[in-house]
């Protein structure tokens, strides 16, 4: 009997050893250096951004960001299971952050849906219901965030929550002054009729390439305008000063 129990114990260890090393297929299939995983994350986010209720007129389409992914993965690898500092999630602008922890590998679509499901405790124009947290939801649907990068890590140092998911959204959302209205209510793409893709605005492409920033048709704060300007022009190598976002001697609002 003792021999049988020992064999069962050894067998159990053999079954668990790939998990303790973070090499099981259920985990490695979630790593965000894979194009199909990146597509899944982006598509799920955009699907949910299109489905907001009430509908939004100025929500930008999200795209994958290598810079944001690098930062998100670095933070996930630390296995601290808490939010990073703003500097830890900064590209050339500051980015927002959503976190998720689980005991077992969980599909990215399930993780993202769980963030969105906080909308059940959110009232547009009012904010969170009493004793509720909705920050994951509001960041996920924040209208001016248009770049995303995510990472996942296996954390053997944790007792239970061994899988740590991190997504960074650039520029960051959850402006405390506007958190009850994370987007402008209205008919999808009403704020960007000439730059609409399946219910989401992609107008930043033309806006930042031709510098007609005054023509931005949807509501956006000066700070967010500066952040978007810096982000797009950094990719085009045309920003002279990331902090002030001065382009060829002019501020964004002067162009």
Residues 83-102: pLDDT tens digits? 999 899 989 889 999 999 99
pTM over 0.85: no
**HEC string for 83-143:** CCCCHHHECCCECEEEEEEECCCCCHHHHHHHHHHHHHHEECCCEECCCCCCHHHHHHHCC
Domain ranges of the chain: 18-205
For range 197-215, the mean pLDDT: 59
Provide CB contacts within 8 A for 201, sequence distance 6+.
Answer: 58, 59, 60, 61, 189, 191, 192, 195, 218
Provide CB contacts within 8 A for 242, sequence distance 6+.
Answer: 92, 93, 230, 234
Q: Is the pLDDT of residue 243 over 70?
A: no
Phi, psi of 82 (to 5 degrees): -150, 170
Specify the 3-state DSSP secondary structure of 186: coil
Look-up of token digits 């499901």:
117
Specify the 3-state DSSP secondary structure of 219: coil
pLDDT class of 163 with cuts at 50, 70, 90: very high
- Segment 22-78, tens digit of pLDDT: 678 999 999 999 999 999 999 999 999 999 999 999 999 999 999 999 999 999 999
CATH number for the domain running over 18-205:
3.40.33.10
For range 197-207, the mean pLDDT: 75
- Segment 5-25, tens digit of pLDDT: 544 444 444 444 444 456 789
């Amino acid at each position: 009997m003792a021999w049988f129990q020992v064999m069962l114990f050894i067998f159990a260890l053999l079954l668990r050893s790939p998990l303790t090393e973070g090499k099981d297929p259920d985990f490695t299939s979630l790593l965000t250096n894979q194009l199909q995983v990146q597509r899944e994350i982006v598509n799920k986010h955009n699907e949910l951004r299109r489905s907001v209720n009430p509908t939004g007129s100025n929500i930008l389409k999200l795209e994958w960001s290598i810079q944001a992914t690098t930062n998100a993965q670095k933070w996930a690898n630390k296995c601290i299971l808490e939010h990073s500092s703003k500097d830890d999630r900064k590209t050339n602008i500051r980015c927002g952050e959503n976190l998720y922890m689980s005991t077992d590998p969980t599909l990215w679509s399930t993780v993202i849906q769980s963030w969105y499901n906080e909308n059940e405790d959110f009232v547009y124009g009012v904010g969170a219901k009493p004793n509720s947290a909705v920050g994951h939801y509001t960041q996920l649907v924040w209208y001016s965030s248009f770049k995303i990068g995510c990472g996942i890590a296996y954390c053997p140092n944790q007792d239970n929550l061994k899988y740590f998911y991190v997504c960074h959204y650039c520029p960051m959302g959850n402006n405390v002054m506007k958190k009850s209205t994370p987007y402008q209510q209205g008919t999808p793409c009403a704020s960007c009729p000439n730059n609409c893709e399946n219910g989401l605005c992609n107008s930043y492409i033309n806006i930042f390439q031709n510098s007609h920033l005054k023509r931005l048709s949807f509501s956006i704060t000066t700070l967010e305008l500066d952040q978007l300007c810096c982000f797009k022009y950094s990719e085009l190598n045309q920003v002279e000063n990331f902090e002030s976002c001065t382009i060829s001697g002019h501020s964004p609002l002067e162009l």
